[in-house]
Structure 1
Amino acid sequence: MTFGKGCHLHLIDGSAFIFRAYHALPPLTRKSDGLPIGAVSGFCNMLQRYVENNSGPDAATHVAVIFDKGSHTFRNDMYDLYKANREAMPEDLRPQIPLTRTATEAFNIACKELEGFEADDIIATLAHQARDAGGRVTIVSSDKDLMQLVGDGVEMLDPMKNRRIDRDGVIEKFGVGPEHVVDVQALAGDSVDNVPGAPGIGIKTAALLINEFGSLEALLDRADEIKQPKRREVLQQHRAQIELSKRLVQLDCDMELDFTLDDLEIRDPDPDKLLAFLAEMEFRTLTKRISAALGVEAPVMRDTDPAGAAPMGETAEQGAPTPAAIPFPKTYEHVSDMAALDRWIALIRDRGLVAVDTETTSLDEMRADLVGISLCVEAGSACYIPLGHKAGAADDLFGSDALAEGQLPMADVLAALKPVLEDESILKIGQNMKYDAKILARNGIKVAPIDDTMLMSYALNAGLHGHGMDTLSERYLGHAPIPIKPLLGSGKAAITFDRVPIDEAVTYAAEDADITLRLWQLFRPQLSTSRVTAVYETLERPLVPVLAQMEMAGVKVDRDTLSRMSNAFAQKMAGLEAEIHELAGETFNVGSPKQLGEILFDKMGLEGGKKGKTGAYATGADVLEDLATMHDLPARVLDWRQLSKLKSTYTDALQDHINPETGRVHTSYMQTGANTGRLSSTDPNLQNIPVRSEEGRRIREAFVAPQGRVLVSLDYSQIELRILAHIAGIDALKQAFREGQDIHAMTASEMFDVPMDQMTPDIRRRAKAINFGVIYGISGFGLARNLRIPRAEAQGFIDRYFERFPGIRDYMDATKTFAREHGYVQTLFGRKIHTPDINAKGPTAGFAQRAAINAPIQGTAADIIRRAMIRMPDAIKGQPATMLLQVHDELIFEVDEGAADHLIETARDIMQGACEPVLKLDVPLIVDAGRGANWAEAH
């Protein structure tokens, strides 16, 4: 059939299907070889349902499943930070991705992807082609970025809600029609894809501005007409960034494709091919169902257990693990009188434990208001105590902020619960208990002792999957929790939990406590059988109150200093722009990769210009770094980009994070943020403030101590190299550390046969790059770029390094062998980091091997500073000092000026002795200390 009028094209967002399948189902492995196949199973079920339901007047005549191919696209060439903050793909999902492509082809559905472009661009091009040919298009996706395509015969179908999205739906979401979606997105930015946008402007404000001025271009040209000074300044100062953002969110609707719409015509599946694939995956139930639908005999599948039945733990429908069979009965009570509350308190005292969860108005614990508390003492029996629900709905014109009926006075409830929540003989169980503990602490209750199901899962399953409650419930209980989004809504219509009707809140909130208790009952005995009890009991659980105290203390940030820096950065950027324009011989938009590429390669004729699919030259950081060795202009652009990032990410954004009540910034630490045990920091992230450039280091000047106090920084010196020397048994390195030698100079002397007294800075720099590079599995290519030397020369350095220190190669080989045999690696303190991809093929294998080699080293370093942090509060008790921040190998304290020496002595002793008595390293741990009025002076 030639595509034209009367044809209906369905474009399925393949990545959305994959991730929905992955997160909706518990893990499943192929019985014969342990290959993860849970996402493939869910994906196949969705394709089968799609095929079965594709009938009637709205049926597709043409269909394709569109995938992303690789993570680097032309947008990364425009902006090297594009999608830079996305979490790494789950390790057990990675090997399933190519199988979903094979599954699509097995169903005889067109499967399309294109290197250098996102699936959204392919969808955009096909949608335009189909519309121009007179056909209809339905985009099966819930991706808001695709809403710019809606209209003139193109609609979306949100498969999560089974809701069709037309022009009115787009206006409901963005406040503008599809033709202006990219304008709004360019202003509002996108934290998920790391699109910068205009600082401080959200969707609602962006829509108002676009509706008022008609377009983004008109708005930027007429920004001086805006009355609000701050908004006007943002648009004027960030014009280049906003224009870049529009290019990032604008979909490419005119790609060159190597196939036509006619190639996407619906085709019946080939029974032999489809069933052979399903049998290979060992999907017994789905194989039987599809065989029956196709009217053919199901293939004989090999037995994977003596009875030849379905693989152990597989259910009839979705291949869920055995816990899915656990029934989920529930009785949830709305506690609205003190007699009922007293009855629950008696139950808690009788059981000696309780699962606790709080509902609040915000994810920011330092600003959130307590709305209610849920309790559970027995699986299936839980209650919710509403405390702050409002009588009027958020959109009720005549509503009020008066409390809704059916709630007890908050003071009375907290007074009644305080004794049991603080009782040392009663265990309080939570999921991410640090959040609830901080909320309750702000309301006068110090919760102790605690257990945390999120941290139990982390100790058991680091590297296998995430540890959020929804994920854990679906994977291990076979139960999908009630989602929060339908209760709160999204976008401009979103409400806070205090506006949720109490009857709906009871079911949602009580279920959270119920699920938490069930997870605790499942995980608690597994800690012992998996031999990670010590990790949980000595490294994870005791760190919770320490981090909570640090987060609540916060660090003082001087807004005036940030503002002055922001202005200075803006002036310096303007000066750099002038220099760049002078070097170029003309003015152009420095923030435009396209214009920059034309200047560098067309006008100036520099070598190495490569055009991407859009016809624009690549001007990413790697390209400019290479060109910077030949010409000043690209070096100046790199400086300009760095300043632009510092300004938008730190000096501007940090001001918004200053708590108005405390005048301090309160970051949140995530214990489960990295597989290795390293902490991560969010809202704001204070662990990635750049320190390599002078401007980056200046950011730390804004972190200050109050009058009469100073900041103290204590930092482990080269801790990962010391751990490597111990683990790999490198005598030369161990001796150098014991003698306090310059380790990089010693390495250079060993490698290059240069006596120590003849060492040059360049030779030492090369040895330093190799020392740290080896820990992270650096390649010859990576080292060549770091040192700006030929790749062959860099590879020669690495080969010589392993010749001089053969123990390192032995350690690497032994670690990879252990990981292949056991599926995990361990730190020196017993932390397990799972390596599900270690036996994979292709590029995935190399990544998994490097991660496995590095994990015991980085993980041991993380465990050591954890041990120090846990001991620190008791050690400094009585001193006028507070521990404020942890930045990987560094701890920052605030202390009275006259007590700094005493604190340094105490804290250094704790940090240097943190391994003992569990472990005695072959090398000493050395801690450097500094102090100052601000963080920059102290570090």
Structure 2
Amino acid sequence: MTPFAKGSHLHLIDGSGFIFRAYHALPPLTRKSDGLPIGAVAGFCNMIWKMLQETKGDDAPTHMAVVFDKSEQTFRKDIYPAYKAQRPDPPDDLKPQFRLIRDATRAFNLPCIEKDGFEADDIIATYATAAAAAGGRVTIVSADKDLMQLVAPGIEMFDTLKNRAIGPDEVFEKFGVAPDRVIDVQALAGDSVDNVPGAPGIGIKTAAQLIGEYGDLETLLARAAEIKQPKRRATLIDNAEQIRVSRDLVTLRRDVELADGIETLEVREPEAEQLLEFLALMEFRTLATRVASKLKVEAPVIGDTAGFAPPASGTDVRVLGAGEPPPVVPIDRSVYTVLRDEAALDAWLARIPARGVVAVSVEGIGSDEVTGEIAGVALAIGPGAAAYLPLGHVTAGGDLFSAEGQIPLAAALARLKPVLQDASVLKIGHDVKRAVKLFARQGIALAPIDDTMLLSYALHAGLHGHGRDVLAEEFLGHQPLARRPLLGGGKSARGFREVPIEEAAPYAAEDAEIIWRLWNALKPKLPFARVTRVYETMERPLVPVLAEMERNGIRVDRARLSRLSGDFAQRMAALESEIHTLAGSPFNIGSPKQLGEVLFEQMSLQGGKRGKTGAYGTGADVLEELAAQGHDLPARVLDWRALSKLKSTYTDTLQDAINRETGRVHTSYQIAGAATGRLASTDPNLQNIPVRTDEGRQIREAFVPEAGNVLLSLDYSQIELRILAHMADIGALRQAFHDGLDIHAMTASEMFGVPIEGMPSHIRRQAKAINFGVIYGISAFGLANNLRIPRADAQRFIDTYFERFPGIREYMNRTVAFAKEHGHVETLFGRRIHTPEINAKGPHAGFASRAAINAPIQGSAADIIRRAMIRVPAAIAHLPAKMLLQVHDELLFEVAESAAEETAEVVRAVMSTAALPAVALDVPLVVDAGWGESWSAAH
């Protein structure tokens, strides 16, 4: 062992930095034999090998180590619990690679250093300080700005990406101060990525100026009262303690107790057998060949299709895209396995951890995902490597198929649970939320997860559907087994549990294999489409949040619904009688054909148009136009239809939807329904209950909390208008939102020259209709119908609106032009919404343009509430509260009455900052809160 003495040269490699650089620098890569994600491992190995080859000669290190972060829980969390709290979890396909990268480090015969409670930077600081004190030279292989405080005589940094050394001059260029004052600047400026608070409103440039003027942080804080700028002075005085806490957070520890002394880090040549064995295991054929040649040994034999070579600079990496011919991928169902006993299941499960990824498909008993049981589980780890585990199949008489062999449910789940909850094994599903709920019922937290439906949605929203069969044909060239023939229909219909195992197994196992193949086809496309952040921060993390909300459900007062249903029936009967009187004879109001004949033949009203079937059109637009002309019968029919819809959709249906076991209604959210990112509530739909009508409020009164609790509603105020003001850069609207003005009154004042104070309500109402209508590309015809005014007046209102706010027209033109050039539009957060018909001619052209204009606005609003929902569970974990529903811009919670106010403040803070740190809006996000003994009282 060579002692570390004067003249020694220590290289400290920021392993955590290398990992993420390797992960993001190259396309995703999976091991050919089994699909194990290995892209980051491959990049890391190539970076280490390149560095080892380039650090030879006089400048070669005598000592070297790779340093990693071990866990998120460090001493900094004890100082400030919010430290790094908003950082998203690492991508699920990266998690299983952390262990492999440490194995790679050891395979290169390099020390692999990490320690609980400390970050890699603290370990690097400790080694660097000790080495410099011993008279040695230190090179920190990293470009991380947090390490720049360590630069000093004998200690430099090296950025391998830019191939340049980082010394005092480079640090000054970055921070505006010498390295020994970097901590002071960072303490003032804070760090939004790591959630270091700093001094509000003070950035790096101002911080450097202040430290340069006052010398150091403590002197600055002591003399803050001398600062001439009032705002800056107040900021420093009011936030002095917060700034000191920030200094503690950014200061690297240089005294970490480490088991390995510097002398143990001496450079050792890689052991050929050990290194090549690892490279062969990873199937890195190209690198293995290079290493073997350099070490003058025989290269291992690795399959012809395996290996990894980074693309040369400027190489065009081609990835299958939508519309390209799908590859022929034969699927052989004859090789699938049926797991009928514990030994077979154990043997199969033992194959999963080494691969790090498994596709999972669950078959439930019945359609209830909250309280339902499991009929069987299918697993796949590669082409042809799929199996079906039957658990609840029964004969037509209801007896278990015990003679055919089924493992008892409890015994099977006990074996599945460790794998399904293993953090190093990625579980893939298609619409995986269903599996999450079914397993949660059995006490299994399925994680980490990937979802092929959501991968497709992030990549191709607006282009095609995201169902399994659609994707299998599009990307695999394969038509899966159909489900309907398996289950039958009519009198011979049966549930999946009643399907004989020999028929169920090929279908279920194929489902799992298709999911595995789709994941391999779709996941690598994310970085090329630039939607990795969308998927990793807004799609995948939302799955467990929605699953928990759906399992929570919401309590509904059956008796109140029943009374309301009866009341609606009576009112419908009265309207029916009035309608018949107005018509002069009875007819079936629910029949469009009969209604059309009454309106346009019997009553001779104008405007009747026959469709292809010969019947008159009697849609809502037709009836509203007739009602606007003063005709009573169509107005009463509209009232009758509204009550009929509320009765059939809500007051009747919700009674049937109450779960017998939980006593609550459990909606299901469709994540990949709307192209813009809006969630859709189904079975039952709880998002379309009218908000502003008496009937809608009466229905919401039936949604109630458990005893001792209240329902808490938090709702974004005019979020889409705020986003429009930001995206279109409308100064007047932005200022109005900052000033907390009545935005509709302000718009009316701008358009019509009417003072805000004492403004007539109808003038404000007109401005409101225009404000919201413009977002959806409303036409003069549509606005005229909404306001019951002549079309010419409506057109004049719209023209005046664009004259007063020209930036909106510019935004519209800019957005349509972008869509026509690129075939998609984007939200503020990078969500792509494809616009395949944007260049179409004829009637579709106008609709496609309006949709393209609205999509970035509505999509950005949807992204913001998704981001908020993902952060809420951690924020309210300490409170007696649970999130129940999302209704467009509103979140509904059930919370102990004593904690309502605190919960409201916590959630409001999350919602109002949900856009950060990705997007800094030019307008504030305002969140209204209310609570009470019903949904109606809370909203």
Distance 2:770 2:828 in 1: 24
Q: Which residue identity lines up with residue 932 of structure 1 in the other structure?
A: G
Shift of 1:801: 1.1
The aligned counterpart of 2:485 is 486
Structure 2 distance, partners of 1:570, 1:866, is: 38
Q: Is 1:522 matched with 2:521?
A: yes
Relative to 1, partners in 2 of residues 1:354 and 1:811: Cα closer, same or farther, differing over 3 Å?
A: same
Partner of 2:567: 568
Equivalent position amino acid for 1:761 in 2: S
- Cα distance, 1:875 vs structure 2: 0.3
The aligned residue for residue 768 of structure 1 is: 768
Q: Measure the CA separation in 1 of the matches of 2:431 and 2:861.
A: 23
1: CA distance between counterparts of 2:930 and 2:613?
51
Shift of 1:324: 2.5
After TM superposition, the structure 1 stretch with the greater mean CA deviation from structure 2, 617-626 or 846-855, is 617-626
Deviation at 1:579, TM superposition (A): 3.2
The residue that corresponds to 2:689 in the other structure is 689
Q: Indicate conservation of the 8 Å contact 1:320/1:478, yes or no.
A: no
Same amino acid, percent of matched pairs: 66
Q: How far off is 1:790 after superposition?
A: 1.6
After alignment, is 322-331 or 709-718 more displaced?
A: 322-331
The AA in structure 2 aligned to 1:706 is E
Q: How big is each residue's C-alpha offset from its partner over 1:695-727, in whole Å with a ceiling of 9 and x where there is no partner?
A: 122111111111111101100000000000000
Question: Residue type matched to 2:356 in 1?
Answer: G
The offset of 1:932, in angstroms, is 1.2
Show CA shifts across 1:486-519 (max 9, x none): 1111223211111111112111111111111111
CA distance in structure 2 between the partners assigned to 1:322 and 1:620 by the alignment? 42
**Equivalent in the alignment of 2:387:** 383
Mapped partners of 1:642, 1:665: distance in 2: 23
Partner of 1:324: 327
**Counterpart of 1:332 in structure 2: which amino acid?**
Y
**Counterpart residue number, 2:781:** 781
1:622–1:665 CA distance, 2 compared to 1 (3 A): same
**1:329/1:744 CA distance change after superposition, 3 Å:** same
Q: Which amino acid aligns with 1:573?
A: M
Q: What is residue 208 of structure 2 aligned with on the other side?
A: none
Asked if 1:364 corresponds to 2:368, the answer is yes
Provide Cα deviations, 1:122-147, integer angstroms capped at 9, x if missing partner.
xxxxxxxxxxxxxxxxxxxxxxxxxx
Asked whether the 8 Å contact 1:389–1:404 carries over to 2, the reply is: no
Q: Pick from 349, 354, 368: which aligns with 1:350?
A: 354
Aligned residue for 1:793, secondary structure, equals helix
Q: Given the alignment of the two structures, is residue 578 of structure 1 paired with residue 577 of structure 2, yes or no?
A: yes
Q: Alpha-carbon deviation of 1:865?
A: 0.3
Q: Within 2, Cα distance between the matches of 1:611 and 1:709?
A: 54
Distance 1:547 1:697 in 2: 25
- Name the structure 1 match of 2:557: 558
Note if contact 2:712-2:904 (Cα within 8 Å) is conserved in structure 1. Answer: yes
- Of stretches 603-612 and 429-438 in structure 1, the one that deviates more from structure 2 is 603-612
The AA in structure 2 aligned to 1:420 is: V
Alpha-carbon distance, 1:559 to partner? 0.9
Change (3 A) 1:382 1:749: same
Q: Deviations over 1:359-384 (max 9, x none)?
A: 12223312432111111112221111
Q: 1:354 Cα shift?
A: 1.1
- Which one-letter code corresponds to 2:533 in the other structure? A
Are the equivalent residues in 1 in contact too, given 2:371–2:441 (CA < 8 A)?
Answer: no
Distance across 2 between alignment mates of 1:505 and 1:751:
66
User: Contact 1:733/1:743 (CA < 8 Å) preserved in 2?
Assistant: yes
User: Structure 1 residues 878, 602: closer, same or farther in 2, change over 3 A?
Assistant: same
Preserved CA contact (<8 Å) 1:815 1:853 = yes
- Alignment CA distance shift 1:412-1:724 (3 Å): same
Report the RMSD for the aligned CA atoms in angstroms: 2.1
- The answer to whether the 8 Å contact 2:553/2:667 transfers is yes
**Matched residues in 2 for 1:893 and 1:912: separation?**
17
Tell me the number of residue pairs that the alignment of Structure 1 and Structure 2 aligns. 619
Structure 1's 431 and 758: CA in aligned 2 closer, same or farther, altered over 3 A? same
* Residue in structure 2 matched with residue 437 of structure 1 by the alignment: 436
Gap change, CA 1:426 and 1:841, over 3 Å in 2: same
What is the letter of the counterpart of residue 523 of structure 2? R
Partner of 1:510: 509
Instruction: Tell me the amino acid that sits aligned with residue 805 of structure 2.
Output: F
Contact 2:728 2:811 in 1 (8 A): yes
Gaps of 5+ in 1: 1-311
Structure 1 residue matching 2:931: 3-state secondary structure: strand
Shift of 1:622: 2.5
SS at match of 2:404: coil
CA contact (8 A) 1:824 1:835 kept: yes
Map of 1:46 onto structure 2: none
Q: Does 1:821 align with 2:810?
A: no
- Partners of 1:437 and 1:384 in 2: CA distance: 18
Q: How far does the alpha carbon of each residue in 1:896-927 deviate from its partner, in whole angstroms, 9 at most, with x for none?
A: 11111011111111000101111110000001
Map 1:208-357 onto structure 2 (within 5 A): 321-329=324-332, 331-357=335-361
Instruction: Name the SS of the counterpart of 1:384 in structure 2.
Output: strand
**Structure-2 residue corresponding to 1:710:** 710
**Counterpart position of 1:916:** 916
Shift in alpha-carbon separation, 1:488–1:614, aligned structure 2, 3 A: closer
Contact 1:556 1:703 in 2 (8 A): yes
List aligned pairs for 1:703-852, cutoff 5 A.
703-852=703-852
SS at match of 1:915: coil
Q: Which residue of 2 aligns with 1:456?
A: 455
By how many angstroms is 1:546 displaced?
Answer: 0.4
Q: CA 1:674–1:615 in 2, change beyond 3 Å: closer, same or farther?
A: closer
State the AA in 2 paired with 1:349: P
Q: Distance in 1 between matches of 2:469 and 2:604?
A: 55
Cα distance in 2 for partners of 1:845, 1:606 equals: 32
1:621 equivalent in alignment to 2:620: yes
Separation in 1, partners of 2:363, 2:677:
28
- Alpha-carbon offset, residue 573 of structure 1: 1.5
Residue aligning to 2:470: 471
Q: 2 CA distance for matches of 1:483 and 1:444?
A: 31
TM-score calculated relative to the size of structure 1: 0.64
Contact 1:736–1:746 (8 Å) recurs in 2: yes
Change (3 A) 1:879 1:789: same
- The one-character-per-residue Cα deviations of 1:435-489 (angstroms, maximum 9, x if unpaired) are 0111111112111111111111111111111111111111001111111111111
Cα distance in structure 2, aligned partners of 1:716 and 1:442: 33
Aligned AA (1:375) = L
Matched, 1:890 2:884: no
Hey, what's the Cα distance between the residues in 2 that align with 1:715 and 1:871? 16
Structure number with bigger Rg = 2
Tell me the residue number matched to 1:497: 496
Please give the alpha-carbon distance, in whole angstroms, between the structure 2 residues aligned to 1:600 and 1:661: 49
CA contact (8 A) 1:624 1:638 kept: yes
CA distance 1:794–1:387, shift in 2 (3 Å)? same
**TM-score, with normalisation over the residues of structure 2?**
0.64
Q: Secondary structure at the match of 2:920?
A: coil
Structure 1 residues 431, 618: closer, same or farther in 2, change over 3 A?
closer
Q: Is the contact made by 2:392 and 2:400 (CA closer than 8 Å) also made in structure 1?
A: no
Contact 1:324 1:479 (8 Å CA) reproduced? no
Matched residue of 1:510: which SS? Answer: helix
- C-alpha displacement at 1:542, in angstroms? 0.6
Residues of 2 paired with 1:355 and 1:613: CA distance? 48
| Counterpart code for 1:639 | D
For 2:608 and 2:835, the matched residues in 1 are separated by 39
Distance 1:348 1:741, change over 3 A: same
Note the alpha carbon deviations across 1:284-336, whole angstroms, 9 max, x for none: xxxxxxxxxxxxxxxxxxxxxxxxxxxx999xxxx984433334345211111
- Closer, same or farther: CA 565–476 of 1 in aligned 2, 3 Å: same
Q: Distance in 2 between matches of 1:535 and 1:613?
A: 44
CA contact (8 A) 1:427 1:449 kept: yes
Query: Structure 1: which amino acid aligns with 2:720?
Result: E
What's the counterpart of residue 298 of structure 2? Answer: none
Mapped partners of 2:705, 2:610: distance in 1: 50
Cross-structure match for 2:115: none
Aligned twin of 1:213? none
